[in-house]
Amino acid sequence: MYRSVKAFGAMTLLSLAACGANDAPVAEMAAPAVNTNLETAKQWVTAMNTGQAEGLAAVESLMADDGNLIRGRYVGFGFTWDPSDGEGRMIVGTVTPESPAAAVLQAGDEFVSVRGVEVNEANMGKLDFRGKPEEVVEAVILRGEETMDIAVTRGVISTPISKAQSLEWMATGDSENWAPDKWELHEAVGNDNVVYVWTQNWDTDENSGLPVDTHVVTRFVFNEAGLVTRVASLSEDRFALEQAGWTISR
């Protein structure tokens, strides 16, 4: 009998609790915080894949003044040039600070020959700027009206470049061939001030005319103001060259 009364009492308490639960106020779940850095990162990669002017505008407005762009490492000299020069000349656009070229080259220098090979529009992408590290490469440049013999020892180029240097470097690019034929943003994920964006590009190699398909993951770091302080990409550069028919020997 005791057990029956006790069970009845327990059932009564459960019923009252259930009834009371229906009348009690229900706490609403807080909406997840929106990470505005995700949208900024998407805006950045969209601009970069749209055109040169759009990319320059994105860096100008979305990067902090003390921000850095981390370009892919390679073994070589450490300079850029505009491959779209209409006269087939190789004129130095920017020189990477602390690179092997920094002690030798200046913006505006024009390469006349590299290891005895005369520079022309057809061979610009095949000259011996890249290759085995610590190897000396001799060349002839034109600085103003003076012809100069130079020698550069190849080294690892890994120096981050500032916002101002990024804008200067991007300005030397080929605006007509800046954007890929097609691109797609697959995913953007982030945690507070770090965001990763995964994109895929479809393009055509200028030399071979073959289609090239690459994946790119871009990592962004933001400051408290929501501006980019550090950006770097992991891309399939070597794979892109192999698709275009190039043989990679090292």
Domains of the chain: 35-71+160-250 (3.10.450.50), 74-158 (2.30.42.10)
Low-confidence ranges of the chain (pLDDT < 70): 1-32, 84-86, 247-250
Q: What is the pLDDT of residues 189-248, one digit of tens each?
A: 999 999 999 999 999 987 788 999 999 999 999 999 999 999 999 888 878 877 877 766
pLDDT at res. 249:
55
Q: In b/e form, how buried is each residue of 90-123, taking b as 16+ CB within 10 angstroms?
A: bbbbbbbeebbbbebbeeebbbbebeeeebeeee
**What pLDDT was estimated at residue 173?**
84
pLDDT at position 21, please? 47
Average pLDDT score over the chain: 85
pLDDT computed for residue 30 by the predictor: 60
Q: Strand 79-81 relative to strand 74-76: parallel, antiparallel, unpaired?
A: unpaired
Give the whole-angstrom CA distance, residue 240 versus residue 176: 20
Give the pLDDT confidence score for residue 209 in this predicted structure: 87
Q: Considering the entire predicted model, what is its pTM?
A: 0.69
Q: What is the pLDDT of residue 238?
A: 76
